[in-house]
Amino acid sequence: MKKTISGLVWLIAIVGFVVGFYGLYQRITTGHIHTDYGSYIPWGLWVAAYIYFIGLSAGSFLLSTLVYVVRVEKLEKIGKLALFTAFGCLIAALLSIWMDLGHMGRVYRVVLHGNLRSMMTWMGILYSSYFLVILVELWFAMRVDLIKKAREGSGICSILSFGSTDTSPKSIQRDRKVLKVLGTIGVPLAIAFHGGVGALFGVVGARTYWHSGLTPIAFLVGALASGGALLTAIVYVWGPDRDREQFREMMKYLGKVVLALVLIDFLLEIAEYFVGMYPGIPDEAEPIKAVLFGKYWYVFWIVHVFFGVFVPSVLLFKNAVSQKVKNGAAAIAFAGLLIAVTFMAVRLNIVIPAQVSPEIEGLQYAFTGPGLEYHYMPTMMEWLVTIWVSSLGALLFLIGYTLLPIVNEEDREVA
C-alpha cells in the first residue's frame, strides 16, 4: 500500500516535473508575458505558492525542533524526515519566489544591498540563515548514517559526508549538542522568518486586508498546521514504521497536534473575517466578501472549509482523539494530506483578495492593459511553473529519501 503510494508520488512528481517544465521554459524565454498578475494585482499564484511552501517548511522545521530541542521521544525517529521535508519545501518556496522576480539575476542585491527597513530584505537575510541552519542541521543529523551508508558503498553519501568518518559515540553526542544548538537557533529563526513573511504582508498599510497585527500570528499558526499536516502524511508513507505500535502512537500524536493547530488557525480566520466584515467598511469588507461570496467562493467554502477543515477535523477527531479507532493511521495521514494540500487555498485567499479592490475607485476603467485588472486567474504557465516547482520539491525529497539515510533502513517496514 505504502509502496503504491510512494510509487504514485514518484509518478506524479516525474510527470509534474516533465509537464511543468514547459512552464519553466516559457517563463525563462518569455518572462512575465504569459502571467496574469501584473500591476493592480502584483502578486499571484507564485507568491501564494511561496508562502504556502515556506509555511510548510517552517511548520515541519518547527516540528523537527520537537525532536532536537524539546526531545519529544515519540517523534525521535522522524527528526531527519521533518528536517528534510522542511528542506524540500524551502527549495520549492525559494524557486517559486525567484520565478516571480522581474530580474532573477539581481536577487543577490537583496542581501548585498538590502534596505533594512524593508521586510523583504529581512526575509532575504533570514532565509539565507535558515537555509544554512537546515543544511547544517541536516548534515549533523545524518552524519553518522551518511558515514555508515558511505561505507556500504553509497557514493553520494561518501561525498556528502565531507570526509567525516568519526562515528564514535562521542561524536554522536557532539552532533546532538550541535543539533540542539542549531535547533534552538532555528526556532526563533523559523518563527521570525515565517512570522516575518506575515509581517511582510501585515505592514502593507495600503492593503487593509493584510494590514493587521494578527497577520504574522496567523501565518505562524498556519505554517504549523499545514507543515504539521504535511509531515503527518509523509510520516505515514515514508516514516519509520517497523515498530507498529510506536508508529501508531506517533501518528495519533501528530494527528492531535495537527487537529489543534488547524482549529486554532480556523479560529483566527473566523476572528479576522468577522471583525473585518462587521463594520462594513468597504476597504476591509470587500476582500473578505470576495473570498466568501465572490467568483471563487468555492475555493473558500469547498476547498478550504470543507476539505481543508471540516473533513480532516472529523477524520482526525475520530482517528486521533477518540480512542475508539485503533488503527487510524491511514485516515490521519489522509487528513494531513487534505489539510496540507488544501492549505494552498488559504494562501491564495490571503494573497489575492487583498489586491482585488481598486485603491481608487474607477481606476480599473481609466486605462486597461495586461496587469491592469482587479481580477486574477493564474495562467496555464503559472500553474505549470508551480507544478514544476512542487514536483521538483517532491523529487528532491524522493531522491533524497532514496539515496540518503533520512529514515534509517532498519526503521523501515520490510514489506
Asked if 295 contacts 305 with a C-beta cutoff of 8 angstroms, the reply is no
4: its cell numbers? 503504491
Question: Least Å distance between CB 37 and other proteins?
Answer: 8
Closer CB to other proteins, 163 or 362, in the complex: 362
Helix axes 45-68, 79-100, angle to 10 degrees: 160
Rule CB under 8 A: say whether 212 interacts with other proteins.
no
Rule CB under 8 A: say whether 271 interacts with other proteins.
no
Q: Which stretch binds other proteins (CB under 8 A): 6-14, 35-43, 165-173, 180-188?
A: 35-43
Closer CB to other proteins, 361 or 410, in the complex: 361
Residue in 363, 402, 409, 413 binding other proteins, rule: CB under 8 A: 363
Closer CB to other proteins, 25 or 253, in the complex: 25
Asked if 229 contacts 350 with a C-beta cutoff of 8 angstroms, the reply is no
Among positions 378-407, residues that touch other proteins (CB under 8 A) are 379
Closer CB to other proteins, 2 or 211, in the complex: 211
Question: Least Å distance between CB 105 and other proteins?
Answer: 4
Question: Least Å distance between CB 265 and other proteins?
Answer: 24
Rule CB under 8 A: say whether 215 interacts with other proteins.
no
Residue in 14, 72, 107, 292 binding other proteins, rule: CB under 8 A: 107
Rule CB under 8 A: say whether 100 interacts with other proteins.
yes
End-to-end Cα distance, the chain? 9
Rule CB under 8 A: say whether 85 interacts with other proteins.
no
Rule CB under 8 A: say whether 102 interacts with other proteins.
yes
Q: Which stretch binds other proteins (CB under 8 A): 98-106, 186-194, 235-243, 265-273?
A: 98-106
Closer CB to other proteins, 103 or 326, in the complex: 103
Residue in 13, 20, 24, 43 binding other proteins, rule: CB under 8 A: 43
Rule CB under 8 A: say whether 15 interacts with other proteins.
no
Rule CB under 8 A: say whether 34 interacts with other proteins.
yes
Rule CB under 8 A: say whether 101 interacts with other proteins.
yes
Closer CB to other proteins, 156 or 204, in the complex: 204
Closer CB to other proteins, 108 or 274, in the complex: 108
| Contacts for 362 with CB less than 8 Å, ≥ 6 apart | none
Rule CB under 8 A: say whether 117 interacts with other proteins.
yes
Question: Least Å distance between CB 203 and other proteins?
Answer: 8
Rule CB under 8 A: say whether 294 interacts with other proteins.
no
Closer CB to other proteins, 1 or 366, in the complex: 366
400: its cell numbers? 533524497
Among positions 120-159, residues that touch other proteins (CB under 8 A) are 120-121, 123-124
State which amino acid sits at residue 102.
G
230: its cell numbers? 504535511
Rule CB under 8 A: say whether 279 interacts with other proteins.
no
Rule CB under 8 A: say whether 360 interacts with other proteins.
yes
Q: Residues interacting with other proteins, by CB under 8 A? A: 28-36, 38-40, 42-43, 100-107, 109-110, 113-115, 117-121, 123-124, 200, 203-207, 355, 358-373, 375, 379
